[in-house]
Amino acid sequence: MDIPFEPIVFGYKVNIHLILEYTAFFIGFRYYVYLKKRTQDPISSSNRLSIIIGAVFGAFFGSRFFGFLEHPAFSFDPEYVVRLLSIKTIMGGLFGGLLGVELAKKIIGEKHSSGDLFTFPIILGIIIGRIGCFLAGVKEFTYGKQTTSFLGMDLGDGLYRYPIALFEVVFLLVLWRILKYFQTKSEMESGLLFKYFMISYFLFRFCIEFLKPNTFFVLGLSSIQYLCILCMIYYQKTIRNLLHAH
């Protein structure tokens, strides 16, 4: 199989990355609905809907804003504006969605933690999306720097690069297993599952950014890495409690 993987169906080239991106949203949401039916949710249906709306809007604006910060440039050219609207990053989506949820909960006065129910659907959605990124090769900015190590792969430009998207899929599968273990083997405080996911994923992304051929840096770090630091600051209390517990 060649990468980028672009199968021809009925004479048309299929954008497999776009298809898997929409599939990720659909399957992730269906998995959330499945889990919700089998979970005693302390949050009412109306409040849960408000939280989802907050998450969607927060994720939309967050993904675009931090996606722009990866390659900040200003232009009034119509083509640039269209491209700007399509720029997005899952990291900004997660953190923006988090802020959107917290704002929605404050508005409706909801006190219960709401993240645990979203944790595994989010992980599943990211895994599916990252498979699409991997299959898109160098057409998506989820590839790594050139390397001569055995981990290198030709992602479509004839150069051997770190397959960052594939690394992320493997990491998320391991993280899924670890979080499932903690969920079934111990009584976890409500909301802690989601916090552990966010801390683990953002820490992973901070490290993996060093393998990406980023071009925009501030003091040697990319905008995504600063977002990861911001997330660590947001969850500093949870991190301190986790370190003290061990």
Q: Span 177-197, mean pLDDT?
A: 86
Q: What is the mean pLDDT of the chain?
A: 86
Helix (H), strand (E) counts: the chain: 9, 4
Question: What are 63-111's pLDDT values in tens digits?
Answer: 888 777 766 665 556 655 555 555 668 888 899 999 999 999 999 988 8
Amino acid identity at 146:
Q
CB-based contacts of 167: which residues, under 8 Å, 6+ apart?
Answer: 208
Distance between CA 81 and CA 33 in Å, rounded? 36
Q: Is 82 exposed, middle or buried (0-12, 13-18, 19+ CB in 10 A)?
A: exposed
Rounded to two decimals, the pTM is 0.88
CA-based nearest residue to 129, from 83, 90, 93, 174: 90
Q: Are 131 and 20 in contact (CB under 8 A)?
A: yes
